[in-house]
Amino acid sequence: MSEIRVSQPHNVTPAEAKQKVQGFQEMVEKYGVTSTWSGNQATLKGTGVSGSISIAPKSVDIVIKLGMMARAFGVDPVKLESSIRKRLKAAFEGEAA
């Protein structure tokens, strides 16, 4: 099992940070991964994928665990991590973190 961890610093309220994470959520939903929110925490679940999104006062932390099924479908953990980092950076661009 591969594990991807990405942390994006921010300087906005947790509610604003949650809104900015919407683009990432839309990306993973394209791959059949659902997110269930409880406060500032989300659980991610999909075929061969699990993880979480945590919104802290100064950072957004994403953990993705890729199981055997995800690897069988050709998911490249390095490319996925790079894509997540780019999307989060773009979402929070323009603010001083």
Name the CATH code of domain 2-89 (choices 3.30.310, 3.30.70, 3.90.1720, 1.10.3470): 3.30.310
Mean pLDDT for the chain overall: 88
| Domain range list for the chain | 2-89
Supply φ then ψ for residue 15, to 5 degrees: -65, -40
Closest CA to 53 of 45, 37, 61: 61
Residues in the chain: 97
pLDDT single digits (tens) 21-47: 987 788 788 778 899 999 999 999 988
Contact (CB, 8 A) for 10 and 89? no
The amino acid present at 90, given as its one-letter code, is A
